Structure 1
Amino acid sequence: MSVRFDSDAVREIIIAAKPGFQVGEIADGDDLREAGIDSLDMMTIILDCSEKADFEVPDEDIDHLATIKGIVDYFNEKTGA
């Protein structure tokens, strides 16, 4: 059974990776790096999503995962959710 991602699930992962971050102020299409998520935080977020989806993200795809919407769409597409 595949895990379905949604904006709320990704926001929870972001909060777990960066406690205290005001993720509620970020729209789904906003660039997370511009909002204050650094590259280490992004890697943690992507790895946590990968673990939840039981799917390893190829290195060449990581740079394309810059928004909440992008993360949701990517994992739902790759896992068939």
Structure 2
Amino acid sequence: MSWHKHLDTSWFRSDYAAAAMPHDENGCVTGNYWLAWPPYITDDKSDPGSLDKILRRRFKTLEAAMAHVDKAWPLGEETT
């Protein structure tokens, strides 16, 4: 299994790609959707790993967010 549970609402892979519900600074869930992000964050707004795109891309389920991460950033592939 490549996914690891941090919280019920926050999961990550060994490369630190992740799927999670939005949380505030106290760890309280602040939305009813899931976010998915790569094992890197970039300021390049054309890159799917930009924070701007990560925050706009929302998923209804954890499984959908995980599937997006696994397809967009396969585990074991190098990222730029």
Q: Structure 2-normalised TM-score?
A: 0.38
Which one has the largest radius of gyration?
Answer: 2
More helix per residue = 1
Q: Structure 1-normalised TM-score?
A: 0.38
More strand per residue = 2
Of structures 1 and 2, the one scoring higher in RCO (CA 8 A, sep 6+) is 1
